[in-house]
Structure 1
């Protein structure tokens, strides 16, 4: 009984990091998963991790509450950086929607409750299926498990004011837009050529109503290009998963101060 009481403070810190990680992490943070299931899964995962990591013996005092806040921030930041990288898929869909003419119609994402572009939601759903097929959700759980090798439980603070950490987060933010541009470039570039062709037609054949003809032509061309480049997009998505895991590892290294 005394051993359980002495181990409870350390277990609580592990539990806080795991559950806060599930608040932001893609796939595990969705509203369609009941909160009780998230807490239960986090509890059993924390219980397994507690006996596999080198956990120090801690006491409940004033500094312990600061450690709880630090663990919650660590879990949220690691989950957020993973979500930030995967958000490139929805941004790419937003670029495509804007050129296709679908930007006027958004859908409500049932997983997050936020508005999402049509093509962005379509590509994001396919990417999540692909993530499950390649066991990417296991790799994300591995990320929170191996975070204890970089960020110890008794570390008292997170170096928010560290210049390298701020620069790293900004680079991750900019890489998200760069990947989104790379994913949407085949469709956006093709639609730009369609716009140029429609402009030439409008000047040479004034009797033709380009505004009526242009929208279905652009939608048809965009779907044809999407079908042709979907395999290439999946290659980019697989590299996106690798970028996500690498970014998580780099952020944990900077937080741990190593």
Structure 2
């Protein structure tokens, strides 16, 4: 690796599996000291051990980002302390996706999905962005989703939370950018780790795309490294589609 994030201090939420794990591993491989966070300590310790075995720097902080300001502030404080008092990069990746349609969502599920997917990153950003600015700058990378802009007849609740995150990306870019904190987002297509028991239910949604396949967590991580690093120093408030062309082009079978 080229150490594009050498000596940077990063927090990646929801980084014990899938996209979050790949981002944490990619950041560490590029020279960053990474705080891996999530609810499952066993999986978190496994990610940290793997990073350290490859010569990287990582620590695990257990947290349940339930949407309360207290939980987000506690994570901000713990991660900053573990990283020696400074944090340069925040990746708001943690989220939940309960399968549902509009008529099958109950109020408890609605509130929980918005709490985890929107409130938690909102208050985490509120806790960390001012400190980043005071320290000279930083980068925030949010995770959106292709279904926030290309409607499908299921998952209205989840897609609306990702739409909120993409809107917050633009608002935060305007709010924090002048103080040196760049805010951008990635909008992944259908992405998952290789499966040994057949196709993923969402795989069909990538049929008819230029890529013609699902994405890998590592492909999203490459985009996160770019947006977090100095190479993207003139990039503010964008949503970078890394979706195999799902939202931009259709391939017509002949």
TM-score above 0.5: no
Q: Point out the structure with the larger strand share.
A: 2
Q: Point out the structure with the larger helix share.
A: 1
The structure, 1 or 2, with the larger RCO (C-alpha pairs under 8 Å, 6+ apart) is 1
